[in-house]
Structure 1
């Protein structure tokens, strides 16, 4: 199996090259990423707990799915691919916002990403890929907020960073549907 390459970008998300994914995280280089939030019709968020043997943040709760586009792959295609690969859901995703962050991880890796965030609303039940996630649940945003306040260490750093934007972005997303 060949190494997975990701897209290096500048601060405006313009491609500057490509590099093997692990090297990018070791060097802390800015690269393109996707993040997916799926809500059910009650506006509860579908969370996943990352598989315990993931190369970083294993065993932590996070957004529905995340990952990286392959070179020459659109961010929407990557988001829909990762949603299918990780959660077994084949949904049409809508772009909602973009952000950039530089988060050191506990294992010496760095998540320095220009993220494209996508939403969907669906009542389909996931069929998780156990290599990616070992548990899932739907929770209200209020419940998640209380959990974050009580025990932030049970969530991924990027989820903690982006979660504060989710209630207002979800309200805007719903109004546009």
Structure 2
């Protein structure tokens, strides 16, 4: 779905310009996105398999919830909205724990260049996996995976055709941050 988003400069500062997401991706313009990693107290991580019709990394496993921040939208409000849209879980600002902002540039091809600042959060998953409701246009599947298995598969990118290829340091930060909370 195309949407209006705020454009940032290369350092993550607002430019005062807005553009459609499709234009930002076509031109490689920086913009904000949110990532929420849901984890359980018994050391598991919720991962989502991207829908087969996605422009980037179809059917790869990815962050629990991710999405673009709409123009003029507060970052945390975007995170709350995306959690409800993608997996049907209701959270509040108090449930979100920000662990960082990660600059990411990924050129998929000449007309699709993702230049994003991922505002990344942790959130405890307090409902059973079976109660989550996938947004079919975005999510093919949901799974809980042990943090140990996830670390083994992402730290060395031992499974590069399984997960969205974020920087290894990004995955390490997520895993270490969750470990601190268990």
**TM-score of the aligned structures, taking structure 2 as reference length:** 0.85
**Aligned residue for 1:152?**
160
Q: C-alpha separation between the residues in 1 aligned to 2:76 and 2:147?
A: 24
Give the secondary-structure state (helix, strand or coil) at the position aligned to 1:157: coil
**How far 1:144 sits from its partner (Å)?**
1.5
**Aligned residue for 2:118?**
115
Select between 155-164 and 25-34 the one with higher mean Cα deviation.
155-164
Select between 132-141 and 108-117 the one with higher mean Cα deviation.
108-117
**Aligned residue for 2:55?**
55
Deviation readout 1:139-167 (Å, 9 max, x if unpaired): 12221133334321221123756212112
Question: Mapping of 1:86-125 within 5 angstroms?
Answer: 86-92=86-92, 93-105=96-108, 108-124=111-127, 125=129
RMSD: 2.1
Q: C-alpha separation between the residues in 2 aligned to 1:4 and 1:13?
A: 19
Structure 1 residue 40 and structure 2 residue 40: aligned?
Answer: yes
Question: Mapping of 1:4-15 within 5 angstroms?
Answer: 4-15=3-14
Distance of aligned partners of 1:34 and 1:14 in 2 relative to their CA distance in 1, 3 Å threshold: same
Structure 1 residue 20 and structure 2 residue 26: aligned?
Answer: no
User: Contact (CA 8 Å) 1:102, 1:111: kept in 2 or not?
Assistant: yes
Question: Mapping of 1:57-76 within 5 angstroms?
Answer: 57-76=57-76
User: Contact (CA 8 Å) 2:103, 2:118: kept in 1 or not?
Assistant: yes
**How far 1:107 sits from its partner (Å)?**
7.8
Deviation readout 1:5-25 (Å, 9 max, x if unpaired): 111112443211111101111
Q: C-alpha separation between the residues in 2 aligned to 1:102 and 1:57?
A: 14
Deviation readout 1:13-60 (Å, 9 max, x if unpaired): 321111110111111111111111000121311000000001221111
User: Contact (CA 8 Å) 2:101, 2:117: kept in 1 or not?
Assistant: yes
Instruction: Find runs of 4+ consecutive structure 1 residues off by over 6 angstroms.
Output: none
**TM-score of the aligned structures, taking structure 1 as reference length:** 0.88
**Aligned residue for 2:147?**
141
In structure 2, stretches of 5+ residues that fail to align are none
In structure 1, stretches of 5+ residues that fail to align are none
